[in-house]
Each structure stands twice: as C-alpha cells, then as structure tokens.
Structure 1
Amino acid sequence: MSQQTGYTVLDVQYRLAPENPVPAALNDTEDAIKWVLGRPTKFDTSKVAISGFSAGGNLALAVSSCIFPPESFSSVLAFCPTVEAFVDPGAVAAPDPNGRPFLTFILRLFASCYMLHGHDPKDPRILPAYAELDRFPRQVLIVTVAYDSLAVEAENLAGRLRESSGRIVVSERMEKCNHAWDKMAKKGCLDGKQKNGLTS
C-alpha cells in the first residue's frame, strides 16, 4: 500500500488471545493511534485511516466507531472482518459453500478464546455490528470473500452504513476466494488477480 499510494503505512502488532483476551488488542490499537494523533507535525492527522484484515478488520471497525470520537479517522478499511458472528456462530454461512468456510466449532473456539472472562458479545467494542452507525468514519471500505462464513454479516453492516446519510461506503465481494485469500494468492490465478485488483 505504501509503495503504490505514497501514503505512510504503520503496520502495528497487537497482543493476541487466548493469552491476552479482550480488551488487550483494543488497548494496543488505541495506544498506537494515540501515538499517531499525538504527532501532528509528523503526520497529517486530518487524513488518518485505519485498516485491518480478519481480527484486525474487526479492531479497525470497533476502534473507529467506539473508542475515538467521530471524525477522528478519514476512513476505515476492513477486509473479511468479524462483525457479528460471535453472538451465534451456528447461524452464519458462506454465500458460496464450495470453499473452506469456518466451521461452527472453530468460530465458537475463537469467541471463547477472545472473550475468556464472559464479556457480552453485543458490546460494540467486540462486535461492531452493534455500534452506533453515526460514529463510523465518513468513508468505509469493506471487502468480503464468497467462501467466508463472515461475509454476509460484514456486507449487512456495509448496507446499513450506506443507508445512513453522508457516507461513502464501498462493499466488494471477491468471488471464489477463501478467508485470508490474499495471504496465499498466486500470480496468474484468480485469487492473485483479485488481490492485484485491490492494490491497483
């Protein structure tokens, strides 16, 4: 992203569950953003965007809608985010069942590892589907993949955000791709072309 756009990109690691359950990752993300926003002479703080993939996409949506005041971010970009699945993992299904969607027991395991101390999954800091729509940034990109059990809930959030006034919302579904498709994308294959299409 940095090479193709010219923007400064900070790739920040955060503590992981189950060793560090919620709110550890949220706290780490908040600290990193405060570090950026506290340096207006180094960064253009009027153009700060937040992005993440999978759990990172969940954090990007949650932090931008719940932790910081509205208008703190120019945009949020979330790739294959979890936005609601932990409430009822058995109720989610991939739009296209021909790939490798998350099995229900895997989603339940993820939820139990992340919320070790009995947190309410409807807390919008955990699942941003429950956040107030007017708190999200004005520009939202949500990318999903057809073989992913998390796709529909993320697309539903994008649809609700699109209906709220004054927002530019782009929701893009990558067909015939699994969760984390870009990590194993091969040049010349469909997943490689899909990945290249996002960065060009």
Structure 2
Amino acid sequence: MALDVRPATVFEDVAALVGPKRPDAGVCWCLSYRIPSKLNNELRGTARGEYVAELLGSGPIGVLAYDGAEPVGWAAVAPRAATSFARNRRIPHVDDLPVWSLWCVRVRPGHRGKGISHVLIEGAVRFAAENGAPAIEAYPLDNGDAKVDLTMAYPGLRKNFEAAGFHHAADTTSVLNGFPRVLMRRELGS
C-alpha cells in the first residue's frame, strides 16, 4: 500500500472520513475543538457539513491519507491559537510558543491495522512544519496496554505519538473514556 498524505482541501474526501452516513445526522465533523463551543452547539445536521465546506474555502483544515484516489485517513491539525485548546483549562500551555495542535486521527473501517495512523501523524507534522509551526502538540490517551473503544480513540494513543518522536511534555486533567490524556510534543526545527 502506497499512501500519500495531502492537505485536506476536497470537501467530499473530508466528508468521507468525518462526515455522517446520512447528511442530516448529528456527527462531529471534527469541529468540536475547531470552533467556539456556542457555535458548535448551535450547528445541527447539514449545517455542520456546510460549515466545513466554508472552512475549506479558506484553505486546508487538516490532512488526508490517500490509498490511490481513495481517502482512507484523516488528521485534524491547526494552530493551537485557532482552536478551543487555546482556552482549555484541562490541557496546559507548556510555554508561549505558537504551537500547532493535532487532536484527531481517524482511519476508515476496512483500512485499520495497516499503519495508516502513523503515516497520518507524520503527514500532520510535515504540514505544520511547512506552515511555520515551531512545535506540534497532541493530547492522546495514556492507555498503557488497555483496549480503547475506537469511537473514543480519536485523539490517538500515547505510544503512537512516542513512536513518531513526540515526548511527554505535561500531564493534563483531561480524561476521555476513563483514560487520562497527556500533552505530547514534538519540536520542529527551523
């Protein structure tokens, strides 16, 4: 399998990874950390997808992994200052660097277990570096060897970020699906 990771710019490809099976269904569209909570709560059904289409009109909103022409993976990545992590009291700020955040890694069913999440993490790191990020952070689950419900594994797993050269930068008070989240960081040389 030859994977290609590219900036997410095509609405249909983003929708294939983070959109609903039914256009009116209430799914995240990976907006929960990208937009203010008031707006996130107001957007319902098709309005969520329409909002994502508007965002894409301004440029990439993450990266997609492709197997040939088929989108098979997604990673949400953006400057931390442009996300709710900028104000999140449970996820600390390590310093004043204008870091980028990587908060969602998703692989389509039927493509899991093939290392795609590792390729997505590297693609997100490359995208952040190409856009001037001095460092990139992630807030994965620290699950040890415990099994994680795939629905709740979207922030990624600590071991996958360690394998990608991230280091533990801080503990957080955030817990998801019973697992603590940790702040992992990778410096991006200039």
TM over 0.5: no
Which structure shows the higher strand fraction? 2
Which structure shows the higher helix fraction? 1
Q: Please tell me whether Structure 1 or Structure 2 has the larger radius of gyration of its CA atoms.
A: 1
Compute the TM-score of the two structures, normalised by the length of structure 2.
Answer: 0.30
Compute the TM-score of the two structures, normalised by the length of structure 1.
Answer: 0.29
